[in-house]
Amino acid sequence: MITNACHFKTKFGMFDLTLHKRFWWSKGYLALTYGDTASGIPIIRLQSTCLFGTALHSIECDCKRQLNDAFRQIKKHGRGVVVYALEEEGKGNGLEDKIDSMLDKCGHPYLDSLYVLVDKRRYSGAARVLTELSVSKRIHVLTQNEEKCEALRKAGFVIL
């Protein structure tokens, strides 16, 4: 359910920001909605929390570029939603495991640390957020991750 909502000014324009929570989600989801997403073919991005990549300037992942790209494309297209999963830091393993994953057994940094983690993310919650927002069932999704598409199809979305 939506617990809080506001208009949210970004450098990409004005979005509607909503916070979605259920008692079995530890932190829930933020959704940033731009334009009329109930009709047409909105652009959808399911984004996982990545404090290091989006706030702390890490160069070990692509999260910030992907997020910026999503905002840019949604703005250009005129309609879309970024669903930001607040509980998926470190591929769903949490910050502690993420930091541990950046070191090998001798305490040296891995070259490609973020791939060490098992991906524990599940996307049904994000699909539910889109349903709560009454987003059109015909969507375009910005992802290379087939699991995201699968979860959205299961929730009744047609990916174009």
Annotated catalytic residues are 119, 121
Task: Write the CB contacts of 144 (distance below 8 Å, at least 6 apart in sequence).
Answer: none
CB of 114 to Zn ion, least distance (A): 6
Among 8, 16, 41, 61, binds Zn ion (CB under 5 A): 61
Residues 39-58 contacting Zn ion, CB under 5 A: 50, 53
Coil, strand or helix: which one is 141? strand
* Nearer to Zn ion among residue 21 and residue 64 (C-beta): 64
Helices (H), ranges, 78-145: 95-101, 124-132
How far apart, in whole angstroms, are the C-alpha atoms of residue 98 and residue 60?
A: 12
Residues 84-143 contacting Zn ion, CB under 5 A: none
Among 17, 31, 43, 63, binds Zn ion (CB under 5 A): 63
* Nearer to Zn ion among residue 61 and residue 149 (C-beta): 61
- Classify residue 55 as exposed, middle or buried by CB count within 10 Å of its CB (0-12, 13-18, 19+): exposed
Residues that bind Zn ion (CB under 5 A): 50, 53, 61, 63
